[in-house]
Structure 1
Amino acid sequence: MAELSQSSRRWNGFVCPDCRHVFRVAKDHDGRGIVCPSCRRMLRLPGDGDEIPDLIIPGLMEEAHHEPEADEAADQDGRKMKRRRVHKPEDIFDETFAKKEEVSSNFVRGLLGAIAVLGAVVVVVLLWPSDKSQIKDGKAPVLTRAAQPEKDELAIQAEREVVRPKLVEDEIQPVYEAFMNAESPEEMARWVRHPELTLPRIKKFHGDDFAPVGFSSINWGDEPTRIGTAIKARVQDADYTQREIYALKEDGWKIDWESWAGWSELSWEEIKQQRPVEPVLFRVVVSDVSYYNFSFSDESEWSSYRIESQDGEQTLFAYVPRASELDSLMKSHEGIEKRPMILKIRYPEDAVSDNQVEVVEIVTTGWLAPVDAS
């Protein structure tokens, strides 16, 4: 067992005849087959009785089989000299592989060091201020978190509060019901925003034909969502017509009547009759169309759109300068065919047709107007 253990620790060196890869094999594998660790070719190792082919490094094998002599020998003159050390194949290969590992380790350390230096340079370049005026006394300013603008408390609550069905059912639905079931303009005005301004509008809008629309249900399939500080829901009236309704918390929950009714500064009949040349605030539903005629016949100068009333029964053709910012905002986005908007429109001074207007401003998308535009 001692001889077998000793033999298993001795090695022979070989060179693959195909890929010239240098490798070593334990001596107890002599005469067996082996696969080259590099090219995977099957090789046969020579045994003791075989003639040594070119696969084996001859010089190393001769030294490996040379019998060791005495540590000291005498030359012809009787002087003593030390015998040259005999290098065994296994020693040579051990040293060779150790040197390879050392070179590989040094290379990896050098590469990691270069990457670290490059990363530091990139960070410095990115953080260095581009505005030289910001550097004072030879020092760059310390990066600080941007100051956050102060927000209205209601806006903060609106951002944090999730619209829960229970909130709508308990607090807002009773307001929907009272608003939609109101039997007079005065009763309806109790549930709307700025009633002193809205009540005259309700009376003019309905005239002598005021009648309650009747509350039926909330469409929970179209979940109530928060638009700024308002909660938008979709409700169904007594005639099974579904409409959007906005509620805002202002001394209790209040309904935005203007967006509910699609109120505009002039009615559709009035704007066609008066043809105002000064801008008029108008709530419309916008869609794409190609129609060029009369004052807006030049297709290279204008882009055309159809604007409709809430029920689709009233229509005008609206125009904006082609490729302008207004044109970009008016266009359909995300495949939405009909887009509710609040516009400011006017007629050209030499208007020939009563159904063609120019858009001079987009107040907002949707029908909930900013406070200063109400």
Structure 2
Amino acid sequence: MKSNNIQRGVGSSRREREIGDAPDLSRVARMPGAGESGGTRRRKRRRRALNPEDEMGKKRKTMPLSVMAALMAMALLLIGGALVMWIKPIMDRRGDMVEDTKSPYMPAALPEMPELTAPSEDQLRQSVTEALQVRDSSQVEKYFRLGSATPDEVVTFLSKMKETDGEVKRFDLLGVMDANRMPLEGFLVTFDKDGEVRNRLAYFTPSKSGDWKIDFPAFQRRADPDWNSFLEGSAKETVCRVYIALDTYYNGPFSDEAEWRCYGIASPDVERLMFGYCKRKSAQDIAMWKILQNQQKLARATLELGKVEGGGTRQFEIKHVLAEDWVKDDTAFEDK
């Protein structure tokens, strides 16, 4: 039996919440695993616990590949721009540095060297071995280029070499060199005298006929007049083969640093350290600079030294720079 007092609402009406009412959660999303059996949910939880990285990897894969590509392209553009901004000033400065090297201390261009065929290392080694055994003056010019020496001087020097330098221990090939605008093939000859190591340089130079001979003045480290005549005797000048380096000893007749440039001079045949001076920006100064620029801090050179009043036995004027290294030819190095 129906009661007429009961009416069913057909419209929707929003009732205002009152204190104590439960919150209205609206539409609630379905929980993961809802509707699944308990066993299925347990297996999924166990799999996630054992492989947590799989779940993290799934989240990382959500970034679109197009976004990643765009970011990488932007990074490359930024790096490329930074490199260009860094390199350009360096290249600009490089051009300036090339121009700066065109100074009177640098040769503008080197003349072309004639093509020469040097003997083999074995031939050169055999030649220097035989040359040091020469005791007959008639055989001297077969092996040596004499310079200002005589065949008898060469024989005398070679005969006394064991007494002065000791036993020959080895020959070390120095290879092909270009000194004084001429080709050289060299051996460093090492001696042992009572446990003390000594050295001499055997430089082979070609003649016009194509024969390669040892330059005796370079091997002897010849000074002409000799060191004793120049340092202790009456000789006013000497042509000598020495080691050179820049120095700063300004004293006596060479006190004016603005006028003179100082070079340290040493020889294995002289116990004292000497000093040579030449006018700044003179032909001799420029030649000395060229030699040192090729050899860095220490170099060999053939010089003509002259005594000056008040210089004593250590300070000398560099009158001429005759050769880069110890092999001298007909043209002075300062004139080349």
Instruction: Return closer, same or farther for 1:340/1:275 CA change in 2, 3 Å cut-off.
Output: farther
Output one character per residue of 1:77-102: Cα deviation in whole Å (capped at 9) or x when no partner.
xxxxxxxxxxxxxxxxxxxxxxxxxx
2: CA distance, partners of 1:316 / 1:275? 18
Instruction: Return closer, same or farther for 1:208/1:197 CA change in 2, 3 Å cut-off.
Output: closer
Gaps of 5+ in 1: 1-148
Instruction: Return closer, same or farther for 1:298/1:195 CA change in 2, 3 Å cut-off.
Output: closer
1:1-374 to 2 correspondences below 5 Å = 156-158=114-116, 161=117, 167-169=120-122, 171-182=123-134, 190-194=142-146, 197-202=149-154, 206=157, 209-211=160-162, 215-220=168-173, 222-225=174-177, 230-239=183-192, 241-250=198-207, 252-274=211-233, 276-277=235-236, 279-310=237-268, 313-331=271-289, 332-333=292-293, 336-348=296-308, 350-371=309-330
2: CA distance, partners of 1:211 / 1:247? 22
Instruction: Return closer, same or farther for 1:372/1:178 CA change in 2, 3 Å cut-off.
Output: farther
Cα pair 2:205 2:215 within 8 Å, conserved: yes
1: CA distance, partners of 2:301 / 2:148? 25
1: CA distance, partners of 2:137 / 2:245? 32
Output one character per residue of 1:134-187: Cα deviation in whole Å (capped at 9) or x when no partner.
xxxxxxxxxxxxxxx9x9xxx7442xx4x57xx121x22211101224457776
- CA deviation after TM superposition for structure 1 residue 200, in Å: 4.5
Cα pair 1:181 1:214 within 8 Å, conserved: no
Instruction: Return closer, same or farther for 1:196/1:365 CA change in 2, 3 Å cut-off.
Output: closer
2: CA distance, partners of 1:184 / 1:211? 17
Cα pair 2:146 2:217 within 8 Å, conserved: no
Cα pair 1:339 1:366 within 8 Å, conserved: yes
- CA deviation after TM superposition for structure 1 residue 275, in Å: 5.2
Higher relative contact order (CA 8 A, sep 6+): 2
Instruction: Return closer, same or farther for 1:342/1:245 CA change in 2, 3 Å cut-off.
Output: same
1: CA distance, partners of 2:204 / 2:225? 24
1: CA distance, partners of 2:201 / 2:311? 36
Instruction: Return closer, same or farther for 1:302/1:249 CA change in 2, 3 Å cut-off.
Output: closer
- CA deviation after TM superposition for structure 1 residue 337, in Å: 1.7
2: CA distance, partners of 1:195 / 1:233? 18
Instruction: Return closer, same or farther for 1:311/1:346 CA change in 2, 3 Å cut-off.
Output: closer
- CA deviation after TM superposition for structure 1 residue 351, in Å: 3.1
Instruction: Return closer, same or farther for 1:255/1:320 CA change in 2, 3 Å cut-off.
Output: same
**Root mean square deviation of aligned Cα:** 3.5
- CA deviation after TM superposition for structure 1 residue 198, in Å: 3.0
Corresponding residue SS for 2:189: strand
Gaps of 5+ in 2: 1-110
Corresponding residue SS for 1:333: helix
Instruction: Return closer, same or farther for 1:217/1:193 CA change in 2, 3 Å cut-off.
Output: same
Cα pair 2:136 2:155 within 8 Å, conserved: no
2: CA distance, partners of 1:207 / 1:273? 25
Instruction: Return closer, same or farther for 1:193/1:317 CA change in 2, 3 Å cut-off.
Output: same
2: CA distance, partners of 1:208 / 1:242? 17
2: CA distance, partners of 1:352 / 1:196? 28
- CA deviation after TM superposition for structure 1 residue 365, in Å: 1.0
- CA deviation after TM superposition for structure 1 residue 233, in Å: 1.8
Corresponding residue SS for 2:296: coil
Output one character per residue of 1:191-249: Cα deviation in whole Å (capped at 9) or x when no partner.
21248943244367x498443865544424x4344655543223333425444321134
Larger mean CA deviation between 262-271 and 350-359 belongs to: 350-359
Cα pair 2:141 2:151 within 8 Å, conserved: yes
Corresponding residue SS for 2:274: strand
- CA deviation after TM superposition for structure 1 residue 270, in Å: 1.3
Corresponding residue SS for 2:129: helix
Instruction: Return closer, same or farther for 1:346/1:262 CA change in 2, 3 Å cut-off.
Output: same
Cα pair 1:183 1:211 within 8 Å, conserved: no
Instruction: Return closer, same or farther for 1:172/1:329 CA change in 2, 3 Å cut-off.
Output: same
The match for 1:42 is none
Letter aligned with residue 178 of structure 1: E
TM-score by length of 1: 0.48
Corresponding residue SS for 1:211: helix
- CA deviation after TM superposition for structure 1 residue 274, in Å: 3.2
Instruction: Return closer, same or farther for 1:370/1:238 CA change in 2, 3 Å cut-off.
Output: same
